[in-house]
Each structure stands twice: as structure tokens, then as C-alpha cells.
Amino acid sequence: MKKIILFVFAFGVILYSFQSKKLIPKKPKLVVGIVIDQMRYDYLTRFADRYSENGFKRLLNDGFSLENAHYNLIPTYTAVGHASIYTGTPPSEHAIISNSWYDKFAKKSIYCVDDANYKTIGNESDEGKKSPYRMLTTTVTDQLHLAQNMRGKTIGIAIKDRSSILPAGHTANAAYWFSGGNYGQWISSSFYMEELPNWVNEFNASKKVDDYLSSPWETLYDISTYTQSIADNNEFEALYNGEQTPTFPHNIPALRKSNGNYSLIKAIPAGNSMTAEFAKAAIIGENLGKSEHTDFLAISFSSTDYVGHQYGPASVEIEDSYLRLDKDLADLFQTLDTEVGEGNYTIFLTADHAAVHVPAYLQSLKIPAHYFNGTAFKKHLTTITEKYFNSRTLIENVSNYQVFLNKKVLDSLGLEQNTVAQKIADEAISFDGIYKAVTARTLQTTHFSEGILNSLQNGYNQKYSGDVMLLPYPATLSYGRKGTSHGSGYSYDTHVPILFYGNGIQKGSSSKRYEIVDIAPTIANLLQIEAPNSTTGKIIEEVLK
């Protein structure tokens, strides 16, 4: 009897031990964060029947898709989006309030990652004088390094400097971006290193970029099959320098000289292909996912943004760009399978913002859409200050739909800042195109729990933002009538895909509303590390096994 009891007890211990190990999944050896610049959520659904099984559909079928994910902040720009994804908090905390903004202390416009304390690594340009120092919080990539006592590798890759630098965080081993013009090289900053690694030098020396620029951009498939797009020749799309119509094929070799030489690759799908190739070279060259520690690779595909700005969401060019990106992703995933091993890595894929349909196109369909005249609006503001305060110099700067007051002039005239700001807000909405106006004091003293004013509040940073914040009508651009842009808090700019896949991730989907700031704490929980130090997002429990 004792033998039977001992056998049962031993079996139970073994079974419990086995089940416990099953309940505690092994951490991924590599996390890959993928951000697609200017990707609307509906690009997943509009082009779904044309995607392969190994690109977007691999993540959709075998991962977890958040179908109602949004940015809960304004403005929806590249730097703001990337910072918010990786810090798990909006600009009110991380302080990246735009791509460029007016610095009310330095009295000049500044760029989000410029830093004169560092030099370019890779060529003689000034394009590498960059760092993430203006981002005042940690990222999930920083927290992973801290949790592993600075072991493991974190690398950022993107054509755009800000899209590489901000995700990689303050403690990154490296961040790389593309230097166009007459260089055609991947470069970095002395913030990270004193010289490029051999694998980067070898990639640059291979001149693969010339191969990408050596043939015309033609549609991947017969152009008659692009039924999700409007006619190829239309009045809503901008032209490359040297083109007569915005139509296929685009003769890239002939257009190269008049469109920035190597910089032209940024604005065609081949820029994404080159980025994917460089990312694969990084995986191999840095032996990512092969140590005892978890590595992090942050990749951003920038060319979709350039194409979107030029042609708009309804264009054949956008449809073709995403069909090509789908193939690039499939190749990247195959490299991860081969080099890291399926089941050893985790991916999340999202976008830094989406985009509005070209307003002129919407107007042609009798859908309300607008163009904002910034010059006329500045004159309107001067009229307001002259009428109510007898001064034409109260306003120091107007940019990013923000008004900055001149504090010295206010003091000299004995004017109270909040009184002037409120009068400007009250009168600004009489200008055609301004839909709402809110003062900084209102955003500091009133809590907006939902809606577009909540997004405006999340994007307001007390130290760096202006004195009056403005919201235009929906579907409004301060832009030419050809092509599109983004930046608002309306759903066409905020609704983006969020896909999770791989180690520790459930299969499925959810139509619940989630915010972009939820990604970082979710990945932190998966890795069992502390979330970024100003995180306001929540863990998406249904995503995790």
C-alpha cells in the first residue's frame, strides 16, 4: 500500500511540475516591433484577398488582431506615434509633441531628435547629429535593458531618423537610418558608436540601393486588377519632378537625378524592400535572438508614408505599395524562422498614424472636406489682438495648430495671459476652418475623459505646448490639393492595425477599443519586466497566453 501511495505522490509531483512549466512560457529570444508609417487599419481589409499567406495574413491567422485600436492623442505625426508606441504614454508625458515644434524657451523651431552634441557616423553629412534626449521618459526597450542589467541588444532601423531613434530608446546599442542625396548609405550617430560595424559597412559597400533604383516602378500585377483603387490617371495625385502624369510605370532611373538622387528610394516601395534587407542583415550580423538574453529589434517602414503623402489612400500606388510590403514582410518572417527559430520570437505590428483621403477627392464625392489657409488665419489672429488688446505683437508663434503668446509683450502691456488666451480661443472659431479652440488653462484644470478633447489633452504638454490649442474641421488639411497628410484626432488618422504574433501570444481577434499606449505595457508584461516609467496604457490581457 505504501508503495502505491508513494507512486501516486511521485506521479502527482511530476504532473504538477510538467503543468507548471507549461503555464510559464519561455520568454522570447527576440522581440521585433514593426511600425508601418501611415498605415490605415482598412489597408488590412481592403487588400486582404491579394495578400499572400506568409505576410500580413500570417500575423492575422496565427496571431492576435486588435480591430478597433486607436491613437488617443493629438497630433498624429511620425515622431509622436513612434514615441507613444514605445513609451506607453502620450506627449503629455513623453514630451515629443510633434516632429518639429516651436521652442518657447529657445525662441526657435526645433526638430525632435536633433542634437549638436553628437556627430554623424558613416559619412560627412550632418544627418547623424541626433539623439533621443528630448524624449523624457523611458521606452519598453530601455526597460528591457535595465531588467537584464544592460545585457541583450536593442537596435532601431528605419529610413527616417526619428523612426529609428525614438523606438530604440535611450540605452540602445544602435540606431540606423538612411542618408539619401548623393550618399545612399545607412548611418548612425556618435550617441551610439564611434564607427559602423562591419556588417553595415558591407551592406553600404554592396550598393544594393543602386539596384533598387535601376528599374521602373511598375505594378506588381496587371494594373486592371487593382480594383480597390481609383483610376490611375486622376487630378488628386502629385507628380515626381519630371513627370507629366501620375501614372504607371514610373521611370525611376530617369527620375532619379531630378528627385534627390538616392533620396528617391524613400518615396517608392523599394525603400521598404531595402529596409527589410537591412533588417535581415542586422539579425544575422548582430546574432540577434541567439544569446541567453532577450534582444529587441525595432523596425519602421517609412516609404508607405512618402507614397501616401504623394498619392493618397485611394491610389493604385498605395495598393501596390502594400502588396509589395506584404512580400517584404514574408521574407523578413522567413529570416526570423531560419535565424532565430519559429516560437523563439514575438512580433507586434502597428502604425505611427493613418491618413485622410485626399480632401479634393472627398469634395468631388460631395463629402465634407476642407483646406486650411494658415496665412489668412495668422492675419485673423492679429485682427483679434488689435481689436481687443490694441496690439499686433501679442502672438509669438503659430504652428501645429497651436498659438504661443509673447509673454514679454503681455507683461509690458499689463495683460493677463489667461485672459488674452481665452479671448483668442473664443474668437478663433469665427475663422472658417477652426472647429474648436481650447486654452492651456482649460486643459490644465478640466479633465476630458473621452472624445477628441481627451485626445487633445493627452497631446498637450504643459511645459512645451502653446497657450491656445486649435482643432480644424474633420477632413481638413493645411496642404496642397494633391496628395494627403495626417495629424488630427479624427478616426481616419487614429484607427490603425495592432497585431501580435509568436511566443506568448494567443490566436484570435478583438473588436474592443484599445489605445496605442497599451502596446508597451503588454510587451513588458509578456517579458515580465517593468513597464516604461510614465506608462498610462493598460495590459491587453486577451492577447497573452
Active site residues: 78
Helix (H) or strand (E) holding 307: helix 303-311
For 142, the grid coordinates are 530601455
Strand ordering across the sheet containing 508-515: 120-121, 185-189, 174-179, 154-158, 295-301, 30-36, 345-351, 495-502, 64-70, 508-515
Phi, psi of 34 (to 5 degrees): -115, 120
Indicate the pairing of strand 402-405 with strand 468-472.
antiparallel
Are the C-beta atoms of 535 and 518 separated by less than 8 Å?
no
Q: Give Cα separations from 262 to 159, 162, 212 (angstroms).
A: 12, 19, 10
- Tell me the C-alpha distance between 186 and 26, whole Å: 34
Cell 541588444 locates to 153
Longest dimension (CA), the chain: 102
- Tell me the C-alpha distance between 314 and 300, whole Å: 22
For 116, the grid coordinates are 549638436
Q: Return the closest-CA partner of residue 401 out of 85, 102, 193, 34.
A: 102
| Residues across the chain | 545
DSSP 466-507: -SEEEEE-TTEESS-SSS-----SSHHHHEEEEEEEETTB-S
Are the C-beta atoms of 517 and 90 separated by less than 8 Å?
yes
- What's 183's DSSP letter? T
CA 183 to chain centroid: 25
Are the C-beta atoms of 381 and 398 separated by less than 8 Å?
yes
* Dihedral angle sign, alpha carbons of residues 302, 232, 264, 56: positive
* Dihedral angle sign, alpha carbons of residues 304, 308, 310, 311: positive
Q: Give Cα separations from 434 to 373, 377, 405 (angstroms).
A: 10, 9, 18
Q: Spell out the long-range contacts of 383-387 with Cβ–Cβ below 8 A and sequence spacing 24 or more.
A: 384/423, 384/424, 384/427, 384/428, 385/420, 385/424
Strands, E, within 40-137: which ranges? 64-70, 100-103, 108-111, 120-121
DSSP 380-404: HHHHHHHHHHS-S-SEEEEETTEEE
Please list, in sequence order, all residues whose beta carbon lies within 8 angstroms of the beta carbon of residue 226, skipping any fewer than 6 positions away. Answer: 219, 232, 316, 319, 320
Q: Return the closest-CA partner of residue 445 out of 428, 429, 421, 424.
A: 421
**DSSP SS3 for 536:** coil
